[in-house]
Amino acid sequence: MAESGAGRPDLLAIGVSRGGPSPANELVNEALMGYLRMVMREQAVFPNEGLRINIVFHVPGPIFQPDYKGVHATKLDRKNSRVLVVAAVPSNLKFDEVSGYFANVLREARQNAIDYARKRKIAASADRVSGLIDHLLNQIVATDR
């Protein structure tokens, strides 16, 4: 898990867990890793405060596949105001669909994390992470043109 400044987790962390390499998931995995690098690069200008989100993409492979569908908030790190959100990557996702899929997961993860934190009475503001996600969504749209 990436951490920035004073040992705090990043405002938005992206992880990719692949169920083993396969020709079918290689390009999708590469594209997701590219977005992981983009998030790391772009978040440097956003203050690392308030609600933090850690999104882990589960890419199906020959060894294991996610046993769920969609995007779900699953765990809270109360000390760091960080919500873990998991995303099951569809097995039929094509390389040229990854940008739209990634953007949709960012939107869903943000809403799920905010709702999850609210239900658990976490008072951390989601303004910073929301601003970062909006910025990333704009970057994705700009690069898809």
Q: Does the pLDDT of residue 1 top 80, yes or no? A: no
- Confidence (pLDDT) at 78: 95
Q: Rounded to two decimals, what is the model's pTM?
A: 0.93
Q: What is the pLDDT of residues 33-78, one digit of tens each?
A: 999 999 999 999 999 999 999 999 999 999 999 999 999 999 999 9
pLDDT at residue 125 is higher than 90: yes
pLDDT above 60 for 5: no
pLDDT score, position 76: 96
Residue 109 above 80 pLDDT?
Answer: yes
The predicted pLDDT at position 90 comes to 97
SS3 32: helix
User: With helix as H, strand as E and coil as C, how does 6-28 read?
Assistant: CCEECCEEEEEEECCCCHHHHHH
Q: What is the pLDDT of residue 7?
A: 76
* DSSP three-state, residue 41: helix
What distance in Å separates the CA atoms of residue 109 and residue 113, rounded to the nearest whole number? 6
- Domains of the chain: total: 1
Look up the domain containing 21 and give its range: 3-144
Say how far apart CA 87 and CA 73 lie, in whole Å.
Answer: 9
Structure tokens at 115: 């709702």
Whole-number percent of the chain with pLDDT over 70: 95
> Average of pLDDT values for 2-31?
86
pLDDT bracket for residue 3 (50, 70, 90): very low
Q: Predicted confidence band at 6 (pLDDT cuts at 50, 70, 90)? A: low
